Amino acid sequence: MPDALPEPGTPAAFAAALRRRERLVGYWSVLDSPVSTERIARLGYDYVALDAQHGLIEYSGLLASLTAIDTKGSTAVGLVRAEANDPAPIGRALDAGAAGVIVPLIDTAQDAADAVAAVRYPPHGVRSYGPMRAALRIGPDPAEAHAQTVVLAMIETAQGLANVTDICATPGLDGIYIGPSDLRIALGGASSTDPALDEPFERALDTIRRAAEQAGVAAGIHTADGATAARRLAQGFTFATVSSDLTHLEQIARHHLADARTAGGQA
């Protein structure tokens, strides 16, 4: 009999889909709010990424949010953007049960190789053994962890863009992930949304996407909203992340305030 397919919503299924370059949609979380993260995980997203670099989440919150993402009814797995390309924070995120890590500021193929090594146990890497919660969610054996845990390299600097072909060819790397704000600034933008950089920014995205496609790895990008995520997927990106919980909290609060003031004659 053929091997059974992994259960949807599990790290095994997510890793397999990402490596097959299937289209995946995720959500970004910067708030240390496991209850709201739990609700988001039940909406149908393929993953929820917890931001340990710029987000407001300490380790206890990271652990609680990863546990919340695995709630009954969740369709998502938990990813973590590590605070740095360092084995210690990467290992802690994985030990807490993350199905993968997004590693920031990857400038060279060596940086990418270091990120892969931080995710893999010896002899394939340098991850220290102590899977804590991951042993329950993914499995205690190194072979299980290697099969079910993904590593994604962020392309967000001019150097990373220049070296993207070599980065994408790094053995063991599952995919790349574009940080659009940093990349636009790195290309000379006066701000993270500077419209004067639209054309070179779009050319850079095309270069990165093509490099990933040629290497056969996943190509992901952060987006401001669902419509932009759909557009990027249509362009050939294989996964896209939508906005963030903090951004949406502010947007919806502003919207309701405007409605209330208008209705009350205070606009």
Active site residue ranges: 54
Give the relative orientation of helices 245-263 and 34-41 as an angle to the nearest 10 degrees: 90
The contacts of residue 11 (CB under 8 Å, 6+ apart) are 77, 99, 100, 137, 138, 148, 149
The contacts of residue 111 (CB under 8 Å, 6+ apart) are 85, 105, 153, 167
Closest CA to 30 of 252, 241, 202: 241
210, 216 Cβ separation under 8 angstroms = no
The contacts of residue 254 (CB under 8 Å, 6+ apart) are none
In DSSP terms, 242 is beta-bridged to 27, 223
Listed in sequence order, the DSSP H helices in the chain are: 11-19, 34-41, 59-69, 87-95, 109-119, 134-137, 142-148, 158-162, 164-168, 180-186, 198-215, 226-235, 245-263
The contacts of residue 178 (CB under 8 Å, 6+ apart) are 154, 155, 156, 205, 208, 219, 220, 221, 222
SS3 25: strand
174, 36 Cβ separation under 8 angstroms = no
The pair of three-digit structure tokens given for residue 46, joined into one six-digit string: 């393929």
